Amino acid sequence: MGYMLGTMRKLVFLPLLLLAACNSDIYTRDGVTDGDSFYLAPRAFESDDPVLQSWVAYSLMKSACQLDVGGPIPARVSDYSCEYTARRHLVDSWEEQRLEHTDATDPYLDDLIAVQEAGYLDEYTVRYFGRDEWQVPIEVQVDDFRRWQRANLPHHRPQTRIIGSWGYHQR
């Protein structure tokens, strides 16, 4: 059963992986190459660790979005929608993983669930990962989130764990 679930999980992520690897140009700027494709780390396929698999979902979603947005170097794309969507998938994946692995814990991911349940995932994304050039929906109220955070997550530290890297598409 565990093998079957692991295989099914890999099949679910396969379309995202293919989307992340679909662009075949090589991106270079100022002599720095970031590659043209996002590759998952081998451990993403070998491990059923629920925390790792949640971060795989984040990594695939963010890299696929960056490729979709495009630009001179997709690996360097910083976009509100990409980060928010990837964080939302991270939370959704963690919730699913916890249903399957009832003993799974991760303080950061548990905090993100609390943020989403309070309705502040947009604000969280902007507060911790925002850039001046982002186009943020007017409904996002970062000050409201800061007040909520002080009361509910006073010592919170944001995290990003990319499970993979940008490299060159093998031709």
Span 4-12, average pLDDT: 40
Give me the domain span that covers residue 81.
2-167
Q: List the beta strands (DSSP E) in 94-163.
A: none
Q: What are 125-147's pLDDT values in tens digits?
A: 999 999 999 999 999 999 999 99
Q: What are 72-91's pLDDT values in tens digits?
A: 777 888 999 999 999 999 99
- The number of distinct structural domains making up the chain is 1
- Nearest CA to 17 among 1, 42, 40, 36? 40
Q: Is the dihedral of CA 32, 23, 39, 76 positive or negative?
A: positive
